[in-house]
Amino acid sequence: MFRIGAFSRLTQVSIRMLRYYDEVGLLKPAEVGKWTGHRMYSVSQIPCLNKILYLRDSGFNVSEIALALEMDDCLLLNTLEQKQFEIEQTIQNEQEKIRKIAIGKNEIQENKGELHYNISIKAIPEYQVLSLRRIVPTYYAEGDLWNELSAFAKEQKIEISNHTFSVYHDTAYKEQNVDIELCVPVDKLCKDIAPFCFRMIEPVPIMACTMVYGDFSNIKEAYTAFAEWLQKNSKYRIRAGIHSRSASIGGI
């Protein structure tokens, strides 16, 4: 048996941390001196301590470590895979923050002014289209839908023109589970093959539109321009948006 000081030197874990693990119930001393109150540890506790340190360094908090110590290897493996997924998601979120910071720094350093979005009014005729409509996790998942639609069009030998567009059917902005319909104009309507269908897109007699270039995140400046335009032209109202792959077109 080793007193806490010797056990600390043996395991390279500070006395403070050993006392903390005792207090939270992760690693109790093998014995506590009845008269002296000295914490005594045994060699057999070292594997448990090493497991605690491994889980701590892998991102587990105290309550998660306590649960993991009671798990068999199969359940612990599943828990580690879940923690790995959570960490990977956190990394992606942090990388996105870094990307946005870099954009902000670049704009400040180059002293860029805001882009001017010219709002124009136009009529959209009816189209016969090949359509793929689905609820996807976020707006950024639209690219996956286009890949799926492109693969189907290639299989069916349907030529995709440069005038494809999307229809956002939600009446309000949603952070998750957005209703998006992709549309590819076609020369004729054919038999539906689920989830793909052929249908007529209704005409829009009057629509405000503007051009947005680059990444999808650039669209927020266009919506700001739309908001200013709508404030000056209050007779119009916002409806679902239509977005072409080369431009963003906001319906009114």
- Residue 182 and residue 160 in contact, taking contact as beta carbons nearer than 8 Å: no
pLDDT in tens, 128-169: 999 999 999 988 888 889 899 999 988 988 887 767 888 888
Q: Is 180 exposed, middle or buried (0-12, 13-18, 19+ CB in 10 A)?
A: buried
pLDDT in tens, 210-221: 877 666 666 777
User: Given this model, what pLDDT does residue 71 score?
Assistant: 93
3-state secondary structure of 2: strand
Please, which pLDDT band fits residue 252 given cuts at 50, 70 and 90?
Answer: very low
User: 59 — alpha (psi -120 to 50), left (phi > 0) or beta?
Assistant: left
Question: Residue type for 98, please?
Answer: I
Please, which pLDDT band fits residue 195 given cuts at 50, 70 and 90?
Answer: very high
Q: Could you tell me the CA-to-CA distances from 202 to 88, 124, 166, 195, 209 in Å, in that order?
A: 43, 9, 13, 20, 17
User: Given this model, what pLDDT does residue 219 score?
Assistant: 72
**Of residues 182, 185, 186, the one with CA closest to residue 196:** 182
Tell me the average pLDDT of the chain: 84
Q: Under CATH, what is the fold of the domain 120-249?
A: Multidrug-efflux Transporter 1 Regulator Bmrr; Chain A (3.20.80)
Phi/psi at 141 (nearest 5 deg)?
-80, 0
- Can you say how many angstroms the Cα of residue 111 is from the centroid of all Cα atoms in its chain? 30
pLDDT in tens, 47-58: 999 999 999 999
Q: Is 145 exposed, middle or buried (0-12, 13-18, 19+ CB in 10 A)?
A: middle
CA distance 208 to 242: 10
Pick the CATH number of 2-68 from 1.10.1660.10, 1.10.150.120, 3.40.50.620, 3.40.50.720: 1.10.1660.10
The model carries a pTM of 0.48
User: Given this model, what pLDDT does residue 64 score?
Assistant: 94
Please, which pLDDT band fits residue 248 given cuts at 50, 70 and 90?
Answer: very low
User: Domain-by-domain residue ranges, the chain?
Assistant: 2-68, 120-249
pLDDT average, residue stretch 189-195: 90
**Of residues 181, 154, 182, 158, the one with CA closest to residue 170:** 181
pLDDT in tens, 66-96: 999 999 999 999 999 999 999 999 999 899 8
| H/E run at residue 87 | helix 73-109
The most confident of 84-88, 125-129, 167-171, 242-246, by mean pLDDT: 84-88
| H/E run at residue 134 | strand 127-136
Q: Which two tokens stand for residue 79?
A: 């828990």
| pLDDT score of 241 more than 70 | no
- Residue 145 and residue 132 in contact, taking contact as beta carbons nearer than 8 Å: yes
